[in-house]
Chains A and B, each alone.
Chain A
């Protein structure tokens, strides 16, 4: 078995690292995490010159800092690159199947070995987990911590479990709620075990957590409230028009009885919550709100799991180890709550922890199906059928992921920032001004990231212009200004380089401009380019 596990780790690692230095292109957050790690490794300060912060200001979204510190050694060893930012997530994502294996093995059950191995195998090849392991996604590290902390808890290593849970609070924003819910589930399922030694348990488990919670609380009071309000479901009540429509149809009383805020928010919350369990999300479309968060035209699990997940869920009371089943059922029901409380109808990032429980029940379903058929030959046929089905789905998924995902929506994936940033750096000294489009958001961080701009030099000119909702922006570095490009206005400035986005080209109808032949496509993909460069006379 040990050999198999090592093999499985390497398989996961290969899937997750293949072409990852260039595919998919890094997002704003990845560039920011990477550059801050780079800045720490060079100067011990973040991009704004704060000494070793726990929470990074970044775009004004105040990122929990653990991921940056995980990245520091890789940036130090391999230099600043897309790969080195992603390595922590890749490695932990490849270890997750092993943690799952030991978690499932821990509980006595006749077939727990089979169950644990099937689950680990599914995790290694699961689209949802692959997607977020192939990028510097804090949520992926968070999921790893949740699994590891649960395993340690079950192994009665309460202190270590508590430390990992504490770290999770510095890993990902949603952790504050999800970790708490998982801790409650753990205590609920294990209560019998530590009831007698309650004070010892409390001491080793609660103390580190309380300290961490306090630190987080201070951070929360300082920065988080604003962003929380932007994201919260409760900041988006029924529109005034809609309210008036209902009142006009009946009366104010009717509105207050049946359509009031409480009912409206309950219905929205439950709608979001149920979306995480819809076949549409799980198997057919994935995150339909944001193209960057899943491959197109396919869900976050592989097709054969439709059947096995159902079988596994329906047999949760009658098959397998009941404690583990209840723990994962609680995990299943509780983990989407945090993401359902946000404005988004679906969000594959915030709900990633759900994947572990879905995989568990799929594996339980497969184990159950195999145990139903007692004949050896039949098991062989079923095995071939299952493996074949999963393999075909995986091939299909890989094609959609590698060949279609970025091509289908290049601008969502911020394709072209690398080329545009390098182009700017190469021509910076030969022009007097550069105007870099901020249409796709936060161009400054890509410029810093891809050109490994000296942190010491940046820190004293870093200035984030904040707006009242969501993230702020940086307006200039040296002779570069980051702003919307108005071509007819800017082309009159002499000795200037303009970096224009595809959308601005379209909106200002520059494709039919007499000057069009002088635009240089910087990042061609499909039949267009996401960035164009233009030198003024």
Chain B
């Protein structure tokens, strides 16, 4: 048992646990989604032709579905795709490694600022089994990759605060700026966090102001490209599609309330749209802290949640509360307390400015400080000498924890895709080979657009040669969320299935649309419901 007292060994165990939970069946479960496929295929296209699918050479923002994805993850994926080929695992590996590193980073960070290696180990453990973090570690999620860079930067910031070595300051800036290249939301979270880091340690840092000149200029210079590219690629257009104003609820509410009054200046002021949007923002922001989101139901988006679970384990609720109360009472350093407060308050900001909140995806960094609070609660239980019958209480919590973890794994691996069959692009791995092997026999192929972005999954699964794609690709006009798609590649049409309008000698890949004759083949979801019905006309 002596070996269990060795902290390095324990950390290694935690890392192995984290890696196993994040990597098991990662090559096929869940099946690749359109955003991941877009990253993979564009990386593939760059390797083959030096240009992305739309013919832009080495862009910083990839046009993709008209949403201009930040390019960082695409470039991270290139070596893996070069090495392993165009497949699901390759595009997910960068995030697998980065998210596992997040567990090391939380250990280092907490150890650095709390000076308690026990607490650091517990934080690493809580993060390693955290369902919120695991979920977004399993897939090419830019959010999770960006989080690791933010954590890395944060670590170097506090290292710098302690050591006053300029190199650490430079590394802090590099890591934070890199996160801007990877994910939209990081562009709000990282700068605000950075500013608060400085302000909250102003008294220490003001004496070192000379050290800042070079790193600041350097940081500005490396930020410039992504800033320019963001403005040029219509970054603001993307925001109007998903931003706070895209939710028309407060607008209609203002009209409704004004309509119930006789007109007067006072009511024009208090039922102003600005007031109602401000209230709506506050509701969205605070919703990230609601019990329903954190412990009962989780996110609303099926791709970001598993059935009947919150973002955290229910058994962690008492520890989270205990941690919250103790964090501010305990003799932790003020630096640590301030870090926890700012991190918790700032990380839901990006998500609160979008139309859809709470969002587990955009507010993922929140999982870090919540994990630390839970760890503080656990730490207290382990260290307490006053609790009666401590060992039986501990046994009870260990059993409950284990039960929660098994519940999560059960929900994730056995129920998730069956309950939400549309959440990930299921069964495309079967339908695309069928299409490619039969495409020559028909004049036209009509492929349903009921599922998200079918064209990119076609490109991905068929390893379509990028050089043949670039001359013919054409994006449709954007929908109300600002997304476009590609309607035709060669003789394949990705459209809604309207049987009457389809010419003869066509192969039709439909979903559940109304078709007057029987299918020649049906491909099912994992829950047995039909995903694709194939017809001849």
Q: Which residues of A does B touch, CB under 8 Å?
A: 245-246, 248-250, 254, 257-259, 267, 270-271, 273-275, 277-280, 283-285, 297, 303, 306, 314-318, 395-396, 399, 403-404, 407-408, 526
Q: Check A318–B329 contact: CB distance below 8 A.
A: yes
The answer for the CA separation of A93 and B282 in the assembled complex, in Å, is 30
Q: Check A267–B296 contact: CB distance below 8 A.
A: yes
Beyond A249-B415, A267-B308, A318-B329, whether A274 also contacts B290 by CB under 8 A is: yes
The answer for the CA separation of A526 and B324 in the assembled complex, in Å, is 48
Query: How far is the CB of B256 from the nearest CB of chain A, in Å?
Result: 8
**Considering the complex, which residues of chain B in the window 498-527 have a beta carbon less than 8 Å from any beta carbon of chain A?**
527
Query: How far is the CB of A394 from the nearest CB of chain B, in Å?
Result: 12
Query: How far is the CB of B455 from the nearest CB of chain A, in Å?
Result: 31
The residue that A403 contacts in the complex, of B261, B282, B283, B289, with Cβ under 8 A, is: B261
The answer for the CA separation of A227 and B414 in the assembled complex, in Å, is 39
Beyond A249-B418, A254-B414, A395-B270, whether A279 also contacts B290 by CB under 8 A is: yes
The answer for the CA separation of A249 and B415 in the assembled complex, in Å, is 6
Q: Chain A residues with Cβ under 8 A from B410's Cβ?
A: 250, 254, 257-258
Q: Check B283–A280 contact: CB distance below 8 A.
A: yes
Q: Check B328–A274 contact: CB distance below 8 A.
A: no
The answer for the CA separation of A259 and B308 in the assembled complex, in Å, is 9
B279-320, CB under 8 A of A: which get 1 and which 0?
100110011011110011100000000001000001001000
Q: Check A270–B418 contact: CB distance below 8 A.
A: no
Query: How far is the CB of A479 from the nearest CB of chain B, in Å?
Result: 39
The residue that A271 contacts in the complex, of B286, B296, B411, with Cβ under 8 A, is: B296
Q: Check B287–A280 contact: CB distance below 8 A.
A: yes
B402 CB-CB contact with A under 8 Å: no
B218 CB-CB contact with A under 8 Å: no
Query: How far is the CB of B23 from the nearest CB of chain A, in Å?
Result: 23
Q: Chain B residues with Cβ under 8 A from A279's Cβ?
A: 283, 286-287, 289-290
B407 CB-CB contact with A under 8 Å: yes
Beyond A271-B297, A274-B292, whether A404 also contacts B283 by CB under 8 A is: no
Q: Chain A residues with Cβ under 8 A from B291's Cβ?
A: 270-271, 273-275, 277-278
Q: Chain A residues with Cβ under 8 A from B295's Cβ?
A: 270, 274
The answer for the CA separation of A306 and B328 in the assembled complex, in Å, is 18
Q: Chain B residues with Cβ under 8 A from A250's Cβ?
A: 410, 414-415
Closest 5 CB pairs of A and B: A274-B291, A279-B286, A278-B290, A284-B283, A271-B296
> What class of interface size applies to chain B in its complex with A?
35 or more
B260 CB-CB contact with A under 8 Å: yes
Query: How far is the CB of B466 from the nearest CB of chain A, in Å?
Result: 39
B187 CB-CB contact with A under 8 Å: no
The answer for the CA separation of A250 and B528 in the assembled complex, in Å, is 12
Q: Check A318–B328 contact: CB distance below 8 A.
A: yes
Q: Check B290–A314 contact: CB distance below 8 A.
A: no
Q: Chain A residues with Cβ under 8 A from B338's Cβ?
A: none
Query: How far is the CB of A308 from the nearest CB of chain B, in Å?
Result: 14
Q: Chain B residues with Cβ under 8 A from A318's Cβ?
A: 328-329
Q: Check A315–B292 contact: CB distance below 8 A.
A: no
The answer for the CA separation of A526 and B419 in the assembled complex, in Å, is 44
Query: How far is the CB of B418 from the nearest CB of chain A, in Å?
Result: 4
Q: Chain A residues with Cβ under 8 A from B528's Cβ?
A: 248
Q: Chain A residues with Cβ under 8 A from B442's Cβ?
A: none
Query: How far is the CB of B330 from the nearest CB of chain A, in Å?
Result: 10
| Chain B minimum-CB-distance residue to A405 | B260
Beyond A279-B286, A279-B287, A284-B279, whether A408 also contacts B329 by CB under 8 A is: no
**Considering the complex, which residues of chain B in the window 367-425 have a beta carbon less than 8 Å from any beta carbon of chain A?**
406-407, 410-411, 414-415, 418-419
Query: How far is the CB of B9 from the nearest CB of chain A, in Å?
Result: 33
Excluding A249-B414, A258-B407, 10 further A-B contacts by CB distance (< 8 Å) are: A270-B291, A270-B317, A271-B297, A278-B292, A284-B282, A284-B283, A297-B253, A303-B282, A316-B325, A395-B270
The answer for the CA separation of A283 and B296 in the assembled complex, in Å, is 20
Q: Chain B residues with Cβ under 8 A from A407's Cβ?
A: 260
The answer for the CA separation of A249 and B261 in the assembled complex, in Å, is 53
B245-275, CB under 8 A of A: which get 1 and which 0?
0000000010011001100000100100000
Query: How far is the CB of A274 from the nearest CB of chain B, in Å?
Result: 3
Q: Chain B residues with Cβ under 8 A from A284's Cβ?
A: 279, 282-283, 286
Q: Chain A residues with Cβ under 8 A from B314's Cβ?
A: 267, 270
Query: How far is the CB of A366 from the nearest CB of chain B, in Å?
Result: 17
| Chain A minimum-CB-distance residue to B286 | A279
A-B CB contact pairs (8 Å), 21 listed: A246-B415, A248-B528, A249-B527, A250-B415, A258-B410, A259-B308, A267-B308, A267-B314, A271-B292, A271-B296, A275-B292, A278-B287, A279-B283, A283-B282, A297-B253, A297-B257, A315-B328, A399-B267, A407-B260, A408-B260, A526-B260
Q: Chain B residues with Cβ under 8 A from A275's Cβ?
A: 291-292
Q: Check B286–A396 contact: CB distance below 8 A.
A: no
The answer for the CA separation of A486 and B253 in the assembled complex, in Å, is 36
| Chain A minimum-CB-distance residue to B271 | A399
The answer for the CA separation of A270 and B314 in the assembled complex, in Å, is 9
The answer for the CA separation of A526 and B410 in the assembled complex, in Å, is 53
Q: Chain B residues with Cβ under 8 A from A277's Cβ?
A: 291
Query: How far is the CB of A241 from the nearest CB of chain B, in Å?
Result: 13
Which one of B253, B257, B314 has the greatest number of beta carbons of chain A within 10 Å?
A: B257
Q: Chain A residues with Cβ under 8 A from B296's Cβ?
A: 267, 270-271, 274
Query: How far is the CB of A294 from the nearest CB of chain B, in Å?
Result: 15
Q: Chain A residues with Cβ under 8 A from B267's Cβ?
A: 399
| Chain B minimum-CB-distance residue to A275 | B292
Query: How far is the CB of A247 from the nearest CB of chain B, in Å?
Result: 11
The answer for the CA separation of A297 and B267 in the assembled complex, in Å, is 15
